[in-house]
Amino acid sequence: MRNFLRFILKHHFTFLFILLEFVAFVLVVSYNQNQRALYLSSSSRIAGGLFEKVDNVEQYFALKEINQELSNENAFLRSQMPTSFRQSNDYFSMVGDSASMHQYKYRACKVVNNTVRKHFNYVTLNKGTKDGIKPDMGVLCNRGIVGIVIKCNDHYSTALSVLNPRLKVSAKLKGSDFFGSVSWDTKSILFATLDEIPEHANVSLGDQVITSGYSSTFPEGILIGTVDEVLHPDGESFYKIKVKLSTDFAKLSYVEVVENILQEQQQQLEEDTKL
């Protein structure tokens, strides 16, 4: 307390000057219309700017919750729609009959880890078995496919990324019955390779490559990418097609895990048929 009083006594002229300046400012603003209007205009502009900055900060910190809500809502809406998919630009437009409805369920997940620069890349999700996630479920985002779940614990799961040469996805050219498999050649995170398309197939640059529906993991018609280059190796009867991936794997944030409710029945029947 003594030090505080010493500080006040030492700088009392400075404090007196500030006080008098404040009183003079109040008097000028109070008894002069032009100065008062200028002050109110300036203070409103400054206050408005400060409030806008504060609001922007609050909105930024609310984005995580908003994104999670939108992702959950998107997954719910997908589950309520028919499951025969067709692609239209960047969005899923769906058609189908009542017998095929609700075959697939979608669960929104957040990506908590994602590798893109390794030879074998994986994606880690923030949901596991307690959320209904199981191995062999497909993972997709609003731009296209992401990978397939391979391991789970109670609260987390890992998925084999499309950017992993161990993963092969059954695919076809949109509007065509020719199908093959898409796999990553480890050269670029932007491209993959579509094999097994016969040389008599009509393939053009820009054609969409979609899931074929021949596996029990993904519904038919999920976008994988577009044809970027068509190669015909000498002595082979199949094209080697370079596909520009639709998913930007360097920017994954929220994804959806798709569950085929009839997957076990299909797999069991196919296993029994092999006997």
User: For residue 273, what pLDDT is reported?
Assistant: 83
Whether 16 and 108 share a structural domain: no
User: For residue 248, what pLDDT is reported?
Assistant: 93
Query: 196-243: per-residue pLDDT in tens?
Result: 999 999 999 999 999 998 888 999 999 999 999 999 988 899 999 999
Using an 8 Å Cβ cutoff, are 218 and 258 in contact? yes
Q: Mean pLDDT in the chain? A: 80
Tell which of 10, 42, 57 closes a domain: 57
Residue 260 has pLDDT above 80, yes or no: yes
User: For residue 60, what pLDDT is reported?
Assistant: 58
Task: Give the SS3 label for residue 87.
Answer: strand
More confident residue, 3 or 90: 3
Work out the number of other CB atoms within 10 angstroms of the CB of residue 19: 10
Whether 12 and 97 share a structural domain: no
User: For residue 84, what pLDDT is reported?
Assistant: 44
Does 93 reside within a domain?
yes
Does 63 reside within a domain?
no
Does 66 reside within a domain?
no
Whether 202 and 117 share a structural domain: yes
Residue 158 has pLDDT above 90, yes or no: yes
Using an 8 Å Cβ cutoff, are 145 and 92 in contact? no
Residue 244 has pLDDT above 90, yes or no: yes
Does 255 reside within a domain?
yes
Q: Are strands 169-173 and 223-231 parallel, antiparallel or unpaired?
A: unpaired
Domain that holds residue 21: 2-57
CA distances (Å), 109 to each of 76, 149, 152, 182, 258, in order? 12, 12, 13, 24, 11
Whether 133 and 201 share a structural domain: yes
Average pLDDT of the segment spanning 249-259 = 92
Whether 175 and 86 share a structural domain: yes
* CATH code of the domain in which 89 resides: 2.40.10.340
Query: 26-72: per-residue pLDDT in tens?
Result: 676 566 666 555 655 555 455 445 655 655 665 555 566 656 656 65
Does 190 reside within a domain?
yes
User: For residue 97, what pLDDT is reported?
Assistant: 41
User: For residue 83, what pLDDT is reported?
Assistant: 45
More confident residue, 13 or 95: 13
Whether 209 and 142 share a structural domain: yes
| Alpha-carbon gap, residue 71 to 88, rounded angstroms | 20
Whether 164 and 47 share a structural domain: no
- Assigned token pair, 275: 């006997």
User: For residue 6, what pLDDT is reported?
Assistant: 77
Confidence class of residue 127 from pLDDT cuts 50, 70 and 90?
A: very high
Does 68 reside within a domain?
no
Residue 123 has pLDDT above 70, yes or no: yes
Does 8 reside within a domain?
yes
Whether 146 and 226 share a structural domain: yes
In one letter, which amino acid is 90? Answer: D
Burial of 178 (0-12, 13-18, 19+ CB in 10 A): middle
Domain count, the chain: 2
Choose the weakest-confidence range: 15-19, 134-138, 247-251.
15-19
Using an 8 Å Cβ cutoff, are 71 and 84 in contact? no
Confidence class of residue 95 from pLDDT cuts 50, 70 and 90?
A: very low
Whether 42 and 88 share a structural domain: no
Residue 141 has pLDDT above 60, yes or no: yes
Whether 147 and 255 share a structural domain: yes
Q: In which residue are the tokens 């016969």 written? A: 198
Whether 267 and 158 share a structural domain: yes
Does 75 reside within a domain?
no
Whether 7 and 113 share a structural domain: no
User: For residue 243, what pLDDT is reported?
Assistant: 97
Closest CA to 74 of 107, 103, 100, 101: 107
